[in-house]
Amino acid sequence: MSINIYTVKHPLVLHWNSYLNNPSINDNEKYEVSNRINMALIYEASRKSLKTEKLYIKCINNIEEVSLISKRNFYLFCSDLHISQGISKEAKYLIPNINIYNFLLYFKNKQWDILKSHSILPKVLKNSDIIILEKQLDTAKLIPVLEYALQHEDSNTTLQICCTKCKQIELEVLSNIYPKLSIYTCFIENTNN
């Protein structure tokens, strides 16, 4: 089984992605547009998993219907503090029961690892949806996070990666190691050219 790759083709996301490539925009605008893209990616990744439950409230003359999001746990892992700070409030509006975790990576002995002393990560990820959000897909940096998630998950856990950009070669490497992933991205760079 190979990984599932979803390129977001919504017109606004395509426009925002093109806008980021404009060299004349300032850093604040890039930050705002990047946050919009990240929220669109999180929305796409969570869309299939979000379920609503109906609540009926009996009033004197009528019955009110309210839709509530189910209690399934959502975890958002991010190694970039700028990204997680920029989207944390909006992510809570989008998915009220989302838990956002930052992790720090360090490079030692020619490989990346999670700096556990400076990263607060959940111990249990059972029956949940895990979204890993990165600006650009880097398999070497992603492997320790995936290993952590896979050690703490169960069969009811879904694992999804959201990134603005990724390279085709990174996707191929990732599909050989972790064939059950879902990846949501805006742009796939073809490295054969």
pLDDT in tens, 117-164: 776 777 777 778 889 999 999 999 898 888 888 887 777 788 899 999
Q: Name the packing angle between helices 81-94 and 27-47 (round to 10°).
A: 50
**pTM for this entry:** 0.86
Q: Which CATH fold would you assign to the domain 4-189?
A: Rossmann fold (3.40.50)
- Angle among Cα 74, 77, 80 to the nearest 5 degrees reads 145
* Residue pair 44/58 in contact by the 8 Å Cβ criterion: no
Q: How far apart are the first and last CA of the chain?
A: 27
